[in-house]
Amino acid sequence: MSRGTVVITGASSGLGAEMARQFAALGYDLGLCARRTDRLDELRTEILGAHPERTISVKQLDVVEDAAVFTVFDEFAREFGTIDRVVVNAGLGKGAPLGTGRHDANRQTATVNFLAALTQTEAAMTIFRAQGHGHLVMISSISALRGMPKTLTTYAATKAGVAALAEGLRAEAIPGVDVSVIYPGYIRSEMNDRIKHEPKLMVDTETGVRAMVAAIEKRRPKAYVPTWPWLPLGYALRVLPTPLARKLL
């Protein structure tokens, strides 16, 4: 018996793929979408091998294509009859210091991380309003809590925008709809595999995502994950002077 249906964007690798594994283990059916369908097919085969009772639908989706986002979300809704949760997870980690000739990288990051997140939110909320229920989950970042320097400037700004979208929707208090924003700390994923100097507080993907899934299951309005050390560090980041806050990350 299914506990409901979870749609995850950017599900072909990293945090998205691991969320799919863990939600399936909890009893959810899955709608998985990403650009790389070969990886989605492999993930579907892997999950069904461990949980053959689950129903998993996979679809190709580039989240910067607005019309495709609405089409794919609607197809999932028709296939499953209802969508209980949408995880807006697709993201990009590119970036360069502003004014150094890489406007292309910064613009691409802003387009994927914020404008595409807005489109996914529109598509999810259209379905949730029609259903009268749903759980929207926005994946932000601990870097969203303060303006970040150099290569993180644009990325952090986009993730702050994602958090603001979630907060605005919560303020609307739409009947039957819960909204959560998750602020992951340093969790190993494909996005950060190329980091030259690994942060001291990095945790493995499974551990980090387990904390994310636990917060999502509790439908917490916002969560810094893993709770230790990111709950106290998140508070510190918000209140410390910029030079001190910069030393924490």
Extract the tokens encoding 198.
């690994």
Extract the tokens encoding 44.
């579907």
Q: Which of 155, 183, 186, 224 is catalytic?
A: 155
Question: Cα dihedral sign for 145, 124, 137, 59?
Answer: negative
Extract the tokens encoding 156.
């952090």
Question: Cα dihedral sign for 68, 61, 16, 141?
Answer: negative
Beta-bridge partner residues of 182: 139, 223
Q: Return d(Cα 86, Cα 137) in angstroms, integer.
A: 6
**Whether 183 is catalytic:** no
Which residues in 15-166 belong to E strands, given as ranges? 29-34, 56-60, 85-88, 134-139
Residues with a catalytic annotation lie at 155
